[in-house]
Structure 1
Amino acid sequence: MTRHTSMLQAIPLALAMVNLATPGALADTPDDVTFDVFRNGSPFGEHRVEFSERPDGRMEVEIDIGLRVGFGPVTVFRYEHESEEVWDGGELVSLTASTLKDGDRTRYALSRDEEGRLISQDGLIEDLVPSSHWSGYMAGLPAVLNTETGEPMDVTIEDLGMDRIETGSGLIDARRYRMTGSVTVDLWYDAEGRWVGCAFSIRGQNIVYRLRDS
């Protein structure tokens, strides 16, 4: 394995920390967000989060991440992640996810049982905020649910205050949060709590999310 390939393979770990405003009421369906993703300034792929209301009034969140590095027709790195979250008010009802990484496809699913507990095929799951990022995190939160693996992930979350961030429509004001775990990830949220930016560095790779439309 080359050093270049090893650096790329570490990126999904950071993306799991990327899924900040305080998590708010989910009575209104949020606006969709699409990010263009850049690696060291070059196009790397996109990350989409789409929201819809189900007939039962619950909110469905579909997340699609596609990243690729290639030389002409030859792909040297590919990462794909698709997940679906279902929310009832401020409570996660179910989550299914599928991830292609290093050529291997992994899947998991979890849902609430009749007693309100989150259950997966492996048993009881700790009731944590998913690391899909769109709903935000409270500063000081000690752990999140890794949306790639379905397992708890210890983190430290700091509120870094107001900042300015570049989007596809220009600079906007946003509050900056930092999530520190195995990788340090910076996240930005606008005045309405909408996720509008992300950036992290890992093994010499600088990854930046730029909101396509603000």
Structure 2
Amino acid sequence: MFRSLIMAAAAVATCTPLAFGAFEDGPVMPLPDAGERIVFDVYRNGDTRFGTHALSFTQDGQDLLVNIDIELRAGLGPVTVFRYEHQSTERWREGQLVGLVSETLKDGDTYEVSAQSSGEALDVQGMAPEDGPISLELPLSILPSSHWHGYRPGEYDILNTEYGNELDVTVEYLGEEMLEADGERIPARRYRLISDLTVDLWYDENGRWAGCEFEARGQTVRYVRRADPLEG
């Protein structure tokens, strides 16, 4: 069971769309304001809560900084038998990702990714469990796998913020529906991201990330956005 949770955690870190309007390369949703915060409670197999996924947005001069903190744990009584952590900071300038640092604790191993814009490309250094060190030059228009910014429908590559490799994805728009979020049910648009796993993502009327759900080896993982992101 806990091996399946590890697979699910990978999807959490690599699991947006669209603001309700036209899209271009780069972020699809309007950039959040400095001081905004989004927090999800993460559940598995119904109502078993096993962690949180938090995003906070701050301003640094002309740049938007996005800090992401994922903490997932499961146990048998007082004993922790599963632990997954992912922390990253993204730096955005004029709608493009210009810098990234991340650290992931997964299955007892630690993985680090760094990315920096050279002005002509995004230089990425990372590490994959099977392939070893990664060194890539990616287009400045590439989106990271952090979901808050929105993905346009189609087939293309995104940056895996867990390992630093490229992910081939297909994104489909599935329509509008009601979603549990913010302590109530809200209208949201649903998208499906197909890669190593299939992930469903929801976005609210303002284009903000509102929910997520996927299955990994028999485990259903579900995100529920908090009404008050400051509550414990």
User: How far is the alpha carbon of 1:144 from its aligned partner?
Assistant: 1.1
Q: Distance in 2 between matches of 1:19 and 1:101?
A: 24
Match of 2:36, SS state, is coil
Compute the RMSD of aligned alpha carbons.
Answer: 1.8
* 1:22-78 CA-partner distances (Å, limit 9, x unpaired): 414538448311000001120110000100111x22100000000000112211110
Distance 1:17 1:123, change over 3 A: closer
The one of 201, 204, 209 aligned to 2:218: 204
Q: Deviations over 1:123-173 (max 9, x none)?
A: 433232101000010000422111111110011100111111001320000
Instruction: For residue 154 of structure 2, give the secondary structure of its aligned residue in structure 1.
Output: coil
Partner of 2:128: none
CA distance in 2, matches of 1:14, 1:119: 24
Residue 119 of structure 1, aligned match among 123, 146, 152: 123
- Kindly indicate whether the alpha-carbon contact (under 8 Å) linking 1:19 and 1:131 is maintained by their aligned counterparts in 2: no
Structure 2 unaligned segments of length 5 or more: list them.
126-133
Greater shift, 197-206 or 6-15, is seen at 6-15
CA contact (8 A) 2:42 2:51 kept: yes
- Is the alpha carbon distance of 1:111 and 1:177 closer, same or farther for their aligned partners in structure 2, counting shifts above 3 Å? same
Q: CA deviation at 1:213?
A: 1.3
Mean Cα deviation higher: 74-83 or 12-21 = 12-21
3-state SS in 1 of match to 2:146: coil
1:194 and 2:208 matched: yes
Partner of 2:110: 105
Partner of 1:40: 45
In the alignment, which residue of structure 2 is the partner of 1:67? 72
Tell me the distance in 2 between the aligned counterparts of 1:27 and 1:6: 35
Q: Aligned partners of 1:120, 1:26: CA distance in 2, in Å?
A: 23
Which of residues 179, 190, 214 is equivalent to 1:165? 179
Instruction: Please report the TM-score for the alignment, with normalisation by the length of structure 2.
Output: 0.85
- Asked if residue 10 in structure 1 is aligned to residue 7 in structure 2, the reply is yes
**Runs of 5+ unmatched residues, structure 1:** none
Match of 2:131 in 1: none
Cα distance between partner residues in 2 of 1:85 and 1:13: 18
Residue pair 1:19, 1:130 contacting (<8 A) in 2 also: no
Percent of matched pairs sharing the same residue: 44
Which is worse superposed, 5-14 or 172-181? 5-14
TM-score by length of 1: 0.91
Query: Which residue identity lines up with residue 56 of structure 2 in the other structure?
Result: E
Change (3 A) 1:120 1:44: same
Q: Distance in 2 between matches of 1:130 and 1:148?
A: 10
The letter for the 1-side match of 2:170 is T
